Amino acid sequence: MIPDLLRKHPAARWVGVALIVVALAALPFALATVGTAWVRITNLAILFVLLSLGLNIVVGFAGLLDLGYIAFYAVGAYTYALLASPHFNLHLPFWVILPIGAAIACFFGVLLGTPTLKLRGDYLAIVTLGFGEIIRIFLNNLSEPFNLTNGPKGITTIDPIRILGMDFANTTRVGEIAISGTIKYYYFLVFVLAIVIVVNLRLQDSRIGRAWEAIREDEVAARAMGINTIHMKLLAFAMGASFGGIAGGIFSAIQGFISPESFILTESVMVLSMVVLGGMGNIWGVVLGALLLSFVPELLRYSVEPVQRWLFGRSLIDPEVIRMLLFGVAMVAMMLFRPAGLFPSAVRKRELTVRDNAR
């Protein structure tokens, strides 16, 4: 459709970027006209994109199945909550806490990865699964004898993010336009997302990224090529964990309230299905998968209930259940029919299709 001249022109690229930026900038106002709830939903969707990109480093790039990823998210969230709330009466600024949260999550990642990464991938899967549950048990119980996490009640009145004296919890007026806190968080999240995507893209093509890909395709061959596989796997694990920690910190600030209930196994499964749907290792695919699986359930929430009421006169199936069934079916169906994701990269496609001569 677009004439060749336009496409090849060096400025075309920048025009495209500018158009995307304008669209992203205008989006929250467009959504706000439909309903403020949709801006909030978009914010949570972006958080899930961040999480999926973090998990994608572990599962997609390095091929290690992590089933307790939400634990790192929890660690980041609780770090933020403890350092910026009346709970311990600490109120550090977010740019101090986010790196601390990332570092602590990274530490847990290394702690968990060290014993298991020497072994086969299956063990990592089950150990991470257990780890996710253990973290939740600790968060639930560390309220006595020392009140560290406030138990199942969670931590409330967490500080919002403040930049240059601008509070993200309140509405600011710029001339005629009122910018609500939710919209401010939207811009903040888009900014963080842009950085994370760039980091991921650069990482994928770097020496480290290529080493991960080699390990994923054939670990023995990778080791024969001189790659220190255990260090590289540990690095992937630690990096994924740090991204989870950062996302957790932002989640804490946006919600203002967290409790162990937010970090159950279901969430880990959700993030994993986003990565799987988008295509493990495919950055843009993962972004798309995460957005898709964040918005479709919301749309279901608004459509399934009325349809059921209209058909049967009452709500038979909870949309929440449909959502989880959808995640389960998506995971099985994707693995059976499109193992490399909806829009697979060529390398991954070759790798994940069933080989006739295998074993």
Tell me which residues touch another protein (CB under 8 A).
59, 63, 65, 67, 115-116, 118-123, 125-127, 129-131, 133-134, 137-138, 140-141, 144-146, 219-220, 265, 269, 272-273, 276, 280, 317, 321, 324-325, 327-332, 334-336, 339, 351-356, 358-359
Provide, rounded to whole angstroms, the least separation between the CB of residue 104 and another protein: 19
For residues 334 and 327, what is the distance between their CA atoms, to the nearest angstrom?
A: 10
Vertex 332 angle, CA 327 and 335, to 5°: 120
Q: Alpha helices, DSSP H only, in 142-259?
A: 181-205, 207-217, 219-224, 229-255
Whether the bond between 145 and the residue before it is cis, its omega within 30 degrees of 0, is yes
Q: Smallest distance from the beta carbon of 30 to another protein, in angstroms?
A: 34
Q: Tell me the closest approach of the beta carbon of residue 349 to another protein, in angstroms.
A: 12
Task: Give the integer Cα–Cα distance in Å for 278 and 134.
Answer: 29
Q: How far is the CB of 231 from another protein (least distance, A)?
A: 15
Residue with tokens 């790039």: 61
Q: Count of CB atoms within 10 A of residue 166's CB?
A: 11
Considering beta carbons, is residue 30 or 224 the nearer one to another protein?
Answer: 224
Residue with smaller CB distance to another protein, 196 or 275: 275
Pick 65 or 292: Cβ nearer another protein: 65
For the bound state, the minimum distance from the C-beta of residue 49 to another protein, rounded and expressed in Å, comes to 20
Quick one: 43 or 282, whose CB is closer to another protein? 282
CA–CA separation, 194 and 348 (whole Å): 24
Alpha helices in the chain (DSSP H): 4-8, 10-34, 36-55, 70-83, 94-116, 121-141, 181-205, 207-217, 219-224, 229-255, 265-278, 283-312, 319-337, 346-352
Q: What would the two tokens of residue 8 be?
A: 């090849």
Shortest distance, position 207 Cβ to another protein, whole Å: 23
Q: How far apart are CA 42 and CA 182, in angstroms?
A: 10
> Between residues 64 and 253, which has the closer beta carbon with respect to another protein?
64
Q: Least CB distance from residue 276 to another protein, whole Å?
A: 6
Which C-beta is closer to another protein: that of 292 or that of 352?
352
Nearer Cβ to another protein (138/284): 138
